[in-house]
Chain A
C-alpha cells in the first residue's frame, strides 16, 4: 500500500471487483499459499489465505498489538472492516476501538526520540558523481509515470495501462525546447557520458528549464538506465539514478532497432566507471 505520511489512510477497495469476481490482490496468488506475517523477532503469524482472504489477514494484522516501540506508529488495532466502511477510512495509528484515528501525527509535539524532541539531521552537500559541465550542461533525472510500476514486468502486460503511455517521453521545459528548436512530440536525442537515448519530447512547464526527465519503465533501447551512472551513496548504497549530466538535441527519428544496432553494450564499454 503506497502510504506516504500525509495519506496514511486505511481504506477498503475490496468491493470494487464486481459481485462474484475474485481479484488477484497478491495475497491470493495461489489457493494453497501460506503467508507469514512477522512482527518482531519472535512472532510469526501464519495464515492460510483461502480461509477467507482479506478479512482473516486484516484481523490478524490488527491483532499484532504493540509488540515494540517501532509499532506505535503503525498501530492498527482499532481499525476494523466495519469502521473503515462507516468512516470512509481511518488514519493510523488507531490504538483502540474507540480511538478516532490520527489524521495528523505529532500534534502533541512528542516525538519518538530519546528526548521526545524532533531532531534535525544535517546532511553535507557533495557533488554528484556525474557533474554538469559545458559538454553536458543539463541535469537528467529519471522516475516513474503513474500507470507503470518499476521495470514494468507486471504493468506492461496490461494493455490498457500500456495504452496510456506506450513509450517513454522526455519532459522538457518550453524555454529549453525553444533553444533546441524542439516541439512537443519531436524526437529528442539525450546524450550522457555513457550512452544516448532517443525518445519523444513532451514540452511542459512543470519541469525545471535546466532538467530533463525520462521515465524508466522500459527495457532495451528505450531504457533510461542506459544513461544513468553507477555512483552510490557511500552509506546506503543507493545509486544516483536521479541525477546525471546530459545534453540534448533534436533528432529526426528513433534509434535503430536492436537488430540493426547490435547487442546492447556493456556498462563498462559505454564508458561507465
Chain B
C-alpha cells in the first residue's frame, strides 16, 4: 500500500489517545475519530489498545453489506461506505472482527478508517502514526524495522 507497511504494536500503546485527536483532524472525515480505542480491563491493568482498519484482502464489512456500499480501492484501501448507497443497517459494524466500522448516527452512514488516503497517496504518513509518542503505529519503509 503506497510502498508502506503499517505496523500496530499494542504492547507499545500508552493510552494517551493522541491518535484519536489526530484522526479527527484528517481532511476526509473532519471532527470524527475513526480509531477503535479501549482500555482492556481497566480494573485489572492499564493496558490499552488503539486499532485502525486492517484493510483486509477480503473485507468482511464489504462482504456483508447488502447495499454494496463498501468498496476496496485499487490501492488496497477499504473506504467508508458510499453515502448514496449506505442504508445504515449496521451489518458491517457487527461483522467486523476488529470493531472498525462506525455508524455515524446523525449522518446515518457507516464511516471507517481509510488510512488517510489523502495523505498516504502523496507519500505522507497517516495522521495517527505521525503523532504516536511511543511509535506504536509505525509505517515501515524498507529496512526501517530497527527499534520495533
Contact = CB atoms under 8 A, between A and B. Distances in A.
Interface of A: 7, 11, 13, 15-19, 88-89, 103, 146-147, 160-161, 164, 174, 184, 202-206
A92 to B, nearest CB: 15
A18 B27 contact: yes
A15 B124 contact: yes
Contacts of B138: 88
B112 interface: no
B130 A15 contact: yes
Nearest to A17: B25
Contacts, number: 47
Nearest to B33: A160
B135 A88 contact: yes
Q: When A and B form their complex, which 5 residue pairs have the shortest distance between CB atoms, in order from nearest?
A: A16-B130, A146-B16, A206-B46, A16-B131, A204-B43
Interface of B: 14-17, 20-22, 24-25, 27, 42-46, 124-125, 127, 130-131, 133-135, 138, 144, 146-147
A172 B135 CA distance: 31
Contacts of A174: 43
Nearest to B16: A146
22 contacts: A7-B133, A11-B135, A13-B131, A15-B124, A15-B130, A16-B25, A16-B127, A17-B25, A19-B27, A88-B135, A88-B147, A146-B14, A146-B15, A147-B16, A147-B17, A160-B20, A160-B24, A161-B21, A164-B17, A202-B42, A206-B45, A206-B46
Contacts of B133: 7
Given A88-B138, A205-B43, A205-B44, A15 B125 contact: yes
B9 to A, nearest CB: 14
A164 B22 CA distance: 14
Contact of A203 (B22, B25, B43, B134): B43
Contacts of A203: 43
Given A18-B25, A18-B27, A88 B127 contact: no
B61 to A, nearest CB: 26
Contacts of B27: 18-19
A251 to B, nearest CB: 21
A225 B22 CA distance: 32
Nearest to A20: B27
B144 A88 contact: yes
Contacts of A164: 17
A190 to B, nearest CB: 20
